[in-house]
Amino acid sequence: MKGHLLCIPCTLRAAYDIAIKATENEELQRKVILETLEWMSRNNNLVNITPAMLHTHVFRLVQRITGNKDPFARLKRESNDIAMNLTPLLEREIEKISFEEAFRLAALGAICGNSIDFEVEGYQVSLKDLERSLLDCLKSGLSLDDTSKLREALSKSKTVLYLLDNAGEVAFDKIFIKFITRNYPVRVLAAVKSGPILNDVTLEDALYVGLDEVADIITTGSDSIGLNLAECSMEFMERLKESDLIIAKGQGYYESLTEIESSLRKPIAYMLRAKCSVVAKSLNVRQGSNVIKFVGYPKIM
């Protein structure tokens, strides 16, 4: 997904928001803003860069200027703890219903976990109100529902590459992955970022919620938002090649994978909450909608 004019002020706002999380030094915050403005003024191609790459650039700029490598560390820890306290409620509901309903609810839970996001223009989440927000999300259902196509793809797959998004959210991904591995003879490779980037899941977060109990955890070799193949490790590229199906969580992966779908030549299930108006428009849904969008590729045996 290419960028939009709205992505330009959004990137500047993100630079400021990340900077104030990284440091209380106003001079350093000012330097972040000025360098972001200078970079954007030199680049006449901003709307052809994915939003994921725009935000990756400013995050790395903040890291360099402030020396803070993980400005979201506290928020990630709190998100993980709160989410882990809430997941038993979802698991109990899943146990009460039929297989198809349980699959949809487990998937919807993973999508509602995608509500835990701190860097989306016009979207705010409060950790204090997270339980209420997640319950409201579960009640809202799916605006774009390709669960039947995802179930069919899982029944034909041996290896699934599950691209994780945010901390906190990963606790709900664990429930969905556990449901998948209990009902389908598949191996799930759960991919985390190799270093801090916004509040994305790292190896530390995944191990903290016990994701290794239900999946093989791998790293992308990159700390970029979404998927930047140019930065990924050779090991990750091998795992990508051997996978039969990709489950891609969150807006960052949607923004980046939609640009390279044809080269991946694999079926992809996008699972996200469309928090950004530009992403929502791309998916032809209302902002705030829950989405499972399946993009098929015939070469699945």
| Alpha-carbon gap, residue 258 to 268, rounded angstroms | 10
In the prediction, which pLDDT does 140 show?
86
Report the chain (301 residues): mean pLDDT per 10 consecutive residues: 83 94 97 96 85 94 98 92 90 94 96 72 61 81 96 97 96 97 97 96 97 98 96 97 97 94 94 92 94 80 40
In the prediction, which pLDDT does 86 show?
87
In the prediction, which pLDDT does 126 show?
63
- Ranges of each domain in the chain: 7-66, 73-295
In the prediction, which pLDDT does 2 show?
75
Q: CATH assignment of 73-295?
A: 3.40.50.10880
Supply φ then ψ for residue 191, to 5 degrees.
-100, 130
| Alpha-carbon gap, residue 158 to 31, rounded angstroms | 49
In the prediction, which pLDDT does 137 show?
84
In the prediction, which pLDDT does 100 show?
95
Identify the architecture of domain 7-66 in CATH. Orthogonal Bundle (1.10)
> pTM of the prediction?
0.93
